[in-house]
A and B are shown apart, each in its own frame.
Chain A
Amino acid sequence: MATISLEEVRKIYAGGVEAVKGVSMDIADGEFIVLVGPSGCGKSTLLRMIAGLEEISAGTIRIGDRVVNRIDPADRDIAMVFQNYALYPHMSVYNNLAYGLRNRGVPKDEIDRRVKEAARILEIGAFLERKPKALSGGQRQRVAMGRAIVREPAAFLFDEPLSNLDAKLRVQMRVEIKRLQKSLGTTSVYVTHDQLEAMTLADRLVVLNGGAIEQIGDPISVYEQPASTFVASFIGSPAMNLIPVSVRDGRAILDSETAAGGAGLSGPDLGNGAGYTLGVRPEHFVPASERPAGPGDLSLTVTTTVLEPVGAESYLYATIGGDSATTGTVANSAAPHVVIRVPAAARHQPGEVLSFTAPADRIHPFDKTTGKRIPR
């Protein structure tokens, strides 16, 4: 068990491409950190640098008190779970688990004890003599986990370990990984592109974009206070609505549809005419009939396009602006789209014109050019 700290870590490939651009962070002992971001954001590269599978171009990585930049993967005291499980196909499950221990000179009876213990925890005791070929995807995943557990390493590194499983199994294994990590208390770094997986597993979330950290924080604060439009649109499903506006006399006016609504905005940097993006989560819209817009609230008139029931609730897809009959303007496809959560009982038809409001404290203002959050 150990802390991991990264200091200005960079990865520059031979062609001059900078995959990781000066990442610094400290991971506490026993913490579950999830690196999340779209493909190509450098999350896997960063993990592989911690593992020692990629060279570190600049900066320092410490595991415990030790700088590991020049240390072989086998000597870093880490265990990794790969996306494709990476089980040795010519070895039985038992030998797959025992291999890393044998190479480290662990006594035979100790190996046996640890393998049996891991097999018990992961319920793979019945397959110990089988080859990986004879296992299902979920069982292979468990064996891959087992191979990490028996090592009793300072840290677990997970590289999208669930992305090859079907949806049901993925949820099941997700819960299991979290339970296991909590009971073992081993520092873990987990890479995924799945924001739901990231939210549910992480003690702290690290959102990466283009090789740099966009935001670090616990899942709820990242969800509730996204630092940029990138984080806002990446974390949460359906994604946060991002509505372009400009400010006139302290009031945000929708760019596309002046008559459709607006919001009171206040802040030190809000100048007249400047461009902003307002972010509102789908679940924070309320029908205007239930809650009239107060000062600072956002009010919005939309034309519905599709209603998507998901069971417990429904998502209403709509374009901003009423149609010509009610507002005198034409709702067109260029108008921004919004997604609004409505109760499962709602029976909206396409083409309906509806009004919604969102409370002032649920509106996230972002700078239009930099995408950064504007403190209010």
Chain B
Amino acid sequence: MKRAQFSSPLLPYFLLAPQLAIIFIFFYWPSAQAIQSSFYIEDPFGFGATFVGLENYTTVLGSSEYLRIAQFTLVFTLIVTFLSLSIALVLAVKADAVLTGASTYRSLLMWVYAIAPPVAGLMGIMFFDQHIGPLVDLAALFGWDMRVGVNYYDTAFAMVVIAVWKQIPYNFIFFLSGLQAIPKHLREAAAIDCRSELRRFWTVTLPMLAPTAFFLLIINMTYALFDTFGIIDVVTRNEPANNPLTLVYKVYLDGFRSNDLGGSSAQSVILMIVVLVLTMAQFRFIERRVHYG
């Protein structure tokens, strides 16, 4: 790394200030606020707060509803991450194989990524609409009476499909550029060493792609946990009732709909800890097996 020389010792801090300010205002400050208010029960009308220690936490963790949502979040995250990664990988491998068409292919698949989550959710809702949704009609052909927003599992299914569909282009771009970064002579050497294309993929291509895949794994986990908020909000049409929810949505519901700031804060702190542990675990156990070129 080249050592930068600054004329004034204050200049580097000055240059860093905007980024630090953003991190502080939008991350550290709210986090600190959340941690603080998770130990209080706040008056819904803002007339005061009572210190209650860990009561918010015990209430949350003791609630069967919360545990049910946590369970769904886990399943949802795993399925969305797995599907969006694997489908994107298959598409990228296929696109990479037909290099000449790749740029058209690539831009076509990229377009979806430009859609904001609520819009994606809205479009998804159209697809799953009881009256005009083509996917509902398709399901009906197979005898599946799909009722998104009414039936718990149908709603969950729609959420997963929309969330995966939204995330595939992002993963696709990274996978494709990762694939194209694999040196040509390496593939050729492998073609001479191994007849089976599938085996070459598992033994040479995929290990070479591991750094990209690991990065995407973390990004996708975070996406499924947090960024699917907009999709869930639109699919459940703001009427959660007994529809499937994820933990992030629950934080929002309790905090802003039920005005239980303390309980909501406790939930966000729990979520922060879960993500922290998850990310650390990924770095600790998976990254060790990743080879950076």
Task: Mark A residues whose CB is within 8 Å of B.
Answer: 51-53, 72-75, 78-80, 82-84, 86-90, 99-100, 103, 131, 147
| Besides A80-B189, A84-B185, A103-B194, 4 other A-B contacts (C-beta < 8 A) | A80-B188, A89-B293, A90-B210, A99-B193
Asked if residues A103 and B193 are in contact (CB atoms below 8 Å), the reply is yes
Q: Which stretch (B158-166, B199-207, B221-229, B249-257) binds chain A?
A: B199-207
B141 at the interface (CB under 8 A from A): no
A82 to B208 Cα, complex, angstroms: 19
Q: Could you say which of B185, B196, B203, B207 contacts A82, with CB atoms under 8 Å apart?
A: B185
Which residue of chain A has the shortest Cβ distance to B193 in the bound complex?
A: A100
Which residue of chain B has the shortest Cβ distance to A131 in the bound complex?
A: B291
What are some 11 contacts across the A-B interface (CB < 8 A)?
A53-B188, A74-B195, A75-B195, A79-B192, A80-B188, A80-B189, A86-B185, A86-B186, A86-B189, A89-B208, A90-B291
CB distance from B42 to the nearest CB of A (A): 53
CB distance from A315 to the nearest CB of B (A): 38
Asked if residues A73 and B191 are in contact (CB atoms below 8 Å), the reply is yes
If over half of B's interface residues share one DSSP class (helix, strand or loop), that class is named, otherwise mixed; here it is helix
Asked if residues B192 and A78 are in contact (CB atoms below 8 Å), the reply is yes
Residues of the B chain whose Cβ atoms lie less than 8 Å from the Cβ of A86: 183, 185-186, 188-189
Pairs A-B, 7 closest by C-beta atoms: A100-B193, A86-B189, A74-B195, A90-B291, A86-B185, A103-B194, A90-B207
Interface positions of B from 154 to 199, Cβ below 8 Å from A: 183, 185-186, 188-196, 199
Asked if residues B291 and A103 are in contact (CB atoms below 8 Å), the reply is no
CB distance from B142 to the nearest CB of A (A): 41
Q: Could you say which of A51, A89, A90 contacts B192, with CB atoms under 8 Å apart?
A: A51
Asked if residues A89 and B291 are in contact (CB atoms below 8 Å), the reply is yes
Asked if residues A73 and B293 are in contact (CB atoms below 8 Å), the reply is no
Residues of the A chain whose Cβ atoms lie less than 8 Å from the Cβ of B195: 72, 74-75, 103
A84 to B230 Cα, complex, angstroms: 49
A73 to B190 Cα, complex, angstroms: 10
Known: A89-B293, A90-B208, A103-B199. A82 touches B194 (CB 8 A): no
Interface positions of B from 9 to 26, Cβ below 8 Å from A: none
Known: A73-B192, A74-B191. A99 touches B203 (CB 8 A): yes
Interface residues on B, range: 20 to 34
Residues of the B chain whose Cβ atoms lie less than 8 Å from the Cβ of A88: 186, 189-190, 204, 207
Residues of the B chain whose Cβ atoms lie less than 8 Å from the Cβ of A51: 188, 192
Residues of the B chain whose Cβ atoms lie less than 8 Å from the Cβ of A78: 192
Q: Could you say which of B191, B194, B196, B293 contacts A99, with CB atoms under 8 Å apart?
A: B194
Residues of the A chain whose Cβ atoms lie less than 8 Å from the Cβ of B194: 74, 99-100, 103
Residues of the A chain whose Cβ atoms lie less than 8 Å from the Cβ of B204: 88
Which residue of chain B has the shortest Cβ distance to A159 in the bound complex?
A: B185
CB distance from A324 to the nearest CB of B (A): 58
A99 to B186 Cα, complex, angstroms: 13
Residues of the A chain whose Cβ atoms lie less than 8 Å from the Cβ of B210: 90
CB distance from B290 to the nearest CB of A (A): 9
Asked if residues B188 and A82 are in contact (CB atoms below 8 Å), the reply is yes
Residues of the B chain whose Cβ atoms lie less than 8 Å from the Cβ of A52: 191-192
CB distance from B184 to the nearest CB of A (A): 9
CB distance from A189 to the nearest CB of B (A): 14
Known: A82-B188, A99-B203. A74 touches B293 (CB 8 A): no
Interface positions of B from 197 to 245, Cβ below 8 Å from A: 199, 203-204, 207-208, 210
A78 to B193 Cα, complex, angstroms: 9
Residues of the B chain whose Cβ atoms lie less than 8 Å from the Cβ of A83: 185
Which residue of chain A has the shortest Cβ distance to B210 in the bound complex?
A: A90
Residues of the B chain whose Cβ atoms lie less than 8 Å from the Cβ of A79: 192
Asked if residues A74 and B185 are in contact (CB atoms below 8 Å), the reply is no
Residues of the B chain whose Cβ atoms lie less than 8 Å from the Cβ of A131: 291
Residues of the A chain whose Cβ atoms lie less than 8 Å from the Cβ of B196: 103
Which residue of chain A has the shortest Cβ distance to B195 in the bound complex?
A: A74
Known: A89-B291, A90-B208, A99-B203. A84 touches B192 (CB 8 A): no
A241 to B188 Cα, complex, angstroms: 41
A127 to B196 Cα, complex, angstroms: 29
Asked if residues A74 and B193 are in contact (CB atoms below 8 Å), the reply is yes
Most buried by B among A72, A74, A75, A99: A74
Residues of the B chain whose Cβ atoms lie less than 8 Å from the Cβ of A147: 189, 193
Residues of the B chain whose Cβ atoms lie less than 8 Å from the Cβ of A89: 208, 291, 293
CB distance from B125 to the nearest CB of A (A): 44
CB distance from A74 to the nearest CB of B (A): 4
A147 to B189 Cα, complex, angstroms: 10
CB distance from A20 to the nearest CB of B (A): 18
CB distance from A155 to the nearest CB of B (A): 12
Residues of the B chain whose Cβ atoms lie less than 8 Å from the Cβ of A103: 193-196, 199
Most buried by B among A78, A86, A131: A86
Which residue of chain A has the shortest Cβ distance to B199 in the bound complex?
A: A103
CB distance from A308 to the nearest CB of B (A): 38
Residues of the B chain whose Cβ atoms lie less than 8 Å from the Cβ of A90: 207-208, 210, 291
Which residue of chain A has the shortest Cβ distance to B185 in the bound complex?
A: A86
Residues of the B chain whose Cβ atoms lie less than 8 Å from the Cβ of A73: 188, 191-192
Interface positions of B from 70 to 121, Cβ below 8 Å from A: none
Most buried by A among B192, B207, B291: B192
Asked if residues A74 and B208 are in contact (CB atoms below 8 Å), the reply is no
Which residue of chain A has the shortest Cβ distance to B208 in the bound complex?
A: A90
A177 to B291 Cα, complex, angstroms: 32
